[in-house]
Structure 1
Amino acid sequence: MKLSRVLPLAGIAAVGASAAQAETITVATVNNNDMVIMQGLTDAFEQAHPDITLDWVVLEENVLRQRLTTDIATGGGQFDVMTIGTYEVPIWAERDWLAPLDDLPEDYRVDDLLQSVRDGLSEDGTLHALPFYAESSMMYYRQDLFDAAGIEVPEQPTWQQVRDWAETLHAPDEQTYGICLRGKPGWGENMALVSTMINTFGGRWFDMDWNPQIDSPAWQEAIGFYVDLLGNYGPPGASSNGFNENLALFSRGNCAIWVDATSAAGKLYDADESRVADQLGFAPAPVAETPKGSHWLWSWALAIPATSDSRDAAREFITWATSQEYVELVGEQEGWTSVPPGTRKSTYENPDYQEAAPFADFVLQAIQDADPTDATQEPAPYIGVQFVGIPEFQSIGTQVGQMVASALTGETSVEQALQAAQRATQRTVERAGYQD
């Protein structure tokens, strides 16, 4: 999808001549708010780089992942820049599917990137993607509703407290729902949230011998709790709601509580975008049996597939879009709550950002505290908080996500859904050779 732009009359011939010689790069990205802003700044990039034209493909999260995975695995070469994340980068880099980013210009300031984010986008110490934004997860709530009900939120909420609050504040006749959570199936949609719940309820995806644990008591308890909570106190059609749908619901004031990505904070605090900007409270993601793995670590990042014929132009773009200068450009043009969060130390040291974003230090701490190498109560053989860092997890997580969604809609019981998920995952890891 190309953006249409009206060129000023002055200098139109010169611009037309340079455009005719411009190299076009195709950028695939997700339809999240920060990426929409990036697309909207196309003119700023092209004016500074008149020899490069951007061609955008903007897709819903699940569709984007499917398109990019198919293209990279088959060597399709449709894209010059791919928006991928902490899950894909090390796996794809190990297979030489991504161009290494080991000779970045000095003024890019690699050392300004948060270390945990850099580590997640590296293979053997070399960056293979540049972080556009990074996030953990947190709890948002309507302070006005909590105050009216006399509810005080402790420093660390529990899931049981969240359930009690949701029950108290659920007012569907007034189009206010006790809680909004991800229900849309997908390894990066409902299973991102659900995996953190499983972690904090004491569960894990696999034991140390790669035996699936999906029918374990911890999973049964966590998924049963999730289905009960969202089914009783969530909005209608919750199984169709992912990040963007819940963001829209919460920003309109339809949810008393929402547990999701820290990256939503900027939009929720923007009075032009959110009806609850002046009524917003926030707290750490809830815990149950253990605090381990209660909040995730993720980065949406820009990578260059090895199949690209325009690597130099692609590199120009991704270094621009992830630079400190880009953050400052967004802050000046869109407002400081709209800058991409979670990637650079300089963002959190910026007085303008600190003043505009009361959540800044809280989010930075959540990102730094999330530990993908130690996210479960019992030992696990994988790296990842809300995902399992193996190639097969994309299909495993999506399949299990569909089964969890079927329990949420009442098509199957929780027990039936988890038994089916256990069998399917067992077949997958056996075929893949994870078990002796």
Structure 2
Amino acid sequence: MTLKKFSVLGLTLATALTATACGGGGGKENAASPAGEQQKQPMAGQKITVFAVNHPWTDALKPEIPKFEKETGIKVDLQVFAEEQLQQKLAVQFTTGADTPDVFTYRPYMDKILYAKNGWTAPLDDYANRNAEYDFGDFSKATIEASTIDGKLMSIPLWTDQFILYYRKDILEENNIPVPKTMAEFEEAMKKLHKPKDDFYGFVARGQRNALVTAVSSFVFSEGGDFMVGDKAAVNTPEAIRGFKLYADLVKNYGPQGVLNMNWAQAIGLFAQGKAAFYVDSAALFKNATDPEKSLVADKVGFGVFPAGSAGAKPYSTASWSLAMNPQSKGKDAAWAFMEWATNKENALMIQQSGVPGARDSVWASKEGTAEFPEDLAAAIQETMNIGVDHFVPQVMSVTESRDVVGAIVVKAILGEDIQAAADLANEELQAIIDKDNSQ
């Protein structure tokens, strides 16, 4: 089916898919005639292959796929893989120029530059704006920016990630401390509550070199810095160094021993044991702190917007995973029909109700969309989606390598080394990575 023909059928297909998501779409008026059947299944006989990561998003969507198949006539071969296996499988398929999968999930923050440079993702701008009922403008601005490269939309955001403040409501109330709104208030509260002799700490956060980069990013942004400016490394600017130093000082002065060995799991684990007043990290981790089976303080956890630095509150808000199209697909119209259906408002709401934080503003603005989230968490996520920065790692192809370089700045500062010297060295190393990537 040509793009022109698909456009003619767009309204019919969109209406059918919307009815399906609402539980309808099985109208008897089409059942009796071949013409009606053709209208009901506008793309009958086509088949697409979808590679998806093993995740609650996939678990929630999978049972709904037969409805999509019935309404469109498109047969969907959904193949689900663990994250590492999916990356390997996609690399093999795309390196060999395979026309499958037609649609796939991937991590734009890690892969979008590499995939776009290699021609492994098809631009989606024309598709996304074709159907007014899809309401592409409903996706949060930061997640669309995170899914865009060189002005072209390369994927549709599926679930999101926001950097927020976790705190102990009971501890703050007992000590008459308001939820901090600025970094100065944040540190002052930590100082008052830090009691290491009692095995209670003012603050806990990631300390492992590679893992801490996503956490420290919001501190850097809120001091007016970034990892890069264009194609130039910028981790040794005064603004960036203020952010790195602030994070390092808070972890060192108000955190537990052994912080350099902590990834998110260890950090939130300590917070969930009731041993810290504050924790900062991804909103998507919240159940680790609020589930009574995982947390000793499940009913005592509050959530807030990340405190403002000297440049304001600039926490990250980005797309964790997105849905993309293979440029070699022989069924692009069918592939887009699936992508549009999977990410429409009805399915976005349904999936978010299962606890997966989505990317559509309208879903977050609805009571149904926030029912599975604590009220203050939903409010913090919404505000962060409005003000957030669209990335949390250097925007390069060699993301893992760059994270090691940047994370070393904080590790050295925690260990008491000269942070300016550490940042200058890291800046040289990051620039070398940028130049290497750009030369490929």
How high is the TM-score relative to the length of structure 2? 0.69
Secondary structure of 2:107's aligned partner: strand
- 1:196 paired to 2:196: no
Kept in 2: contact 1:190–1:401 (CA 8 A): no
Is the alpha carbon distance of 1:75 and 1:162 closer, same or farther for their aligned partners in structure 2, counting shifts above 3 Å?
A: farther
1:137 to 163, 168, 171: 163
Which structure has more helix as a fraction of its residues?
Answer: 2
SS of match in other structure, 1:82? strand
- CA displacement at 1:85 relative to structure 2: 2.5
Residue 360 of structure 2 corresponds to 344
1:217 is displaced (CA, Å) by: 4.2
Change (3 A) 1:103 1:290: closer
CA distance 1:128–1:429, shift in 2 (3 Å)? closer
1:18 maps to what in 2? none
> How many residue pairs were aligned?
381
Match of 1:37 in 2: 56
Distance 1:299 1:227 in 2: 26
For 1:195 and 1:410, the matched residues in 2 are separated by: 19
For the aligned residue pairs, the C-alpha RMSD in angstroms reads 4.1
**Matched position secondary structure for 2:82:** strand
The 10-residue stretch of structure 1 (403-412 or 276-285) with the greater mean CA deviation from structure 2: 403-412
Aligned to 1:295: 315
- The structural deviation recorded for 1:252 is 4.6
Q: Deviations over 1:320-367 (max 9, x none)?
A: 5433233443466x4xxx1423x2132133233456542334422321
Note the 1:2-401 alignment, pairs <5 A: 25-28=50-53, 36-41=55-60, 43-48=62-67, 51-59=75-83, 74=95, 80-85=103-108, 88-89=111-112, 92-93=115-116, 96-101=119-124, 102-103=126-127, 106=131, 108-122=134-148, 127-154=153-180, 156-158=181-183, 160-171=184-195, 176-186=200-210, 189-206=211-228, 212-265=233-286, 268=289, 275-291=296-312, 294-300=314-320, 301-306=322-327, 315=336, 318-330=339-351, 334=354, 338-341=355-358, 343-354=359-370, 357-359=374-376, 360-370=378-388, 372=389, 386-389=392-395, 391-392=396-397, 394=399, 397-401=402-406
Secondary structure of the 2:176 match is coil
Deviation at 1:256, TM superposition (A): 1.7
Cα 1:112–1:228 change in 2 (3 A) is closer
AA at the equivalent of 2:56? I
| 3-state secondary structure, aligned to 2:308 | coil
- CA contact 2:110–2:399 (8 Å) conserved in 1: no
Q: Distance in 2 between matches of 1:71 and 1:164?
A: 52
Instruction: Measure, in 1, the Cα distance between the counterparts of 2:137 and 2:342.
Output: 17
3-state DSSP of counterpart to 1:288: coil
Q: Is the 8 A contact 1:42 1:54 kept in 2?
A: no
For the 8 Å contact 1:140–1:282, the answer to whether it is kept is yes
Q: Tell me if structure 2 keeps the 8 A contact 1:201–1:289.
A: yes
Check whether the contact 1:38–1:321 (CA below 8 A) recurs between aligned residues: no
**Distance in 1 between the 2:425 and 2:86 partners?**
24
Tell me how far apart the structure 1 counterparts of residues 331 and 414 of structure 2 sit (CA, whole Å): 46
CA apart distance, 1:219? 4.1
Q: Give distance in 2, aligned partners of 1:68 and 1:180.
A: 37
**Distance of aligned partners of 1:413 and 1:310 in 2 relative to their CA distance in 1, 3 Å threshold:** farther
Q: Give the AA of the match of 1:103.
A: Y
SS at match of 1:214: coil
How do 1:397-412 residues align onto structure 2 when only pairs under 5 Å count?
A: 397-404=402-409, 406-407=411-412, 410=415
What residue identity is the alignment partner of 2:363? T
2: CA distance, partners of 1:165 / 1:68: 48
- Which ranges in structure 1 are unaligned for 5 or more consecutive residues? 1-20, 30-35, 373-383
Q: Is the 8 A contact 2:163 2:218 kept in 1?
A: no
Question: 2: distance between equivalents of 1:406 and 1:116?
Answer: 29
Same amino acid, percent of matched pairs? 21
**Separation (CA, whole Å) in 2 of partners of 1:136 and 1:272:** 24
Cα deviation for residue 25 of structure 1 reads 3.5
* Letter paired with 1:162: F
Q: For each residue in 1:48-94, what CA deviation from the matched residue of structure 2 results, as whole angstroms up to 9, or x when unmatched?
A: 467434332233xxx68975896688457696513222574467446
Alignment deviations for residues 346-404 of structure 1 (CA, whole Å, 9 cap, x no partner): 2133233456542334422321223x5xxxxxxxxxxx653444x35626632323423
The residue type paired with residue 214 of structure 1 is V
Name 2:37's counterpart in structure 1. Answer: none
Instruction: For 1:57 and 1:276, locate their aligned partners in 2 and report how far apart those are by CA, in whole Å.
Output: 34
Residues 176 and 254, structure 1, Cα contact 8 Å, conserved in 2: yes
TM-score, structure 1 length as denominator?
A: 0.70
Counterpart CA distance in 1 for 2:236 and 2:95 is 35
Q: Write the distance in 2 (CA, Å) between the matches of 1:42 and 1:153.
A: 37
In structure 1, what residue type is equivalent to 2:76?
I
Unaligned runs of 5+ in 2: 1-45, 70-74
1 CA distance for matches of 2:234 and 2:141?
32
Partner in structure 2 of residue 377 of structure 1: none
Distance 1:325 1:88 in 2: 28
Cα distance change, pair 175–47 in 1 and its aligned pair in 2 (3 A):
farther
Give the drift of 1:132.
1.1
Structure 1 residues 249 and 218: CA distance shift in structure 2, 3 A: same
Mapped contact 1:201–1:221 kept (Cα < 8 A): yes
Q: CA separation in 1, counterparts of 2:424 and 2:159?
A: 37
Judging changes above 3 Å, is the alpha-carbon distance between structure 1 residues 307 and 254 closer, same or farther for their aligned structure 2 residues? Answer: farther
Distance in 1 separating the partners of 2:204 and 2:434: 33
Larger radius of gyration: 2
Quote the residue 2:425 is aligned against. 420
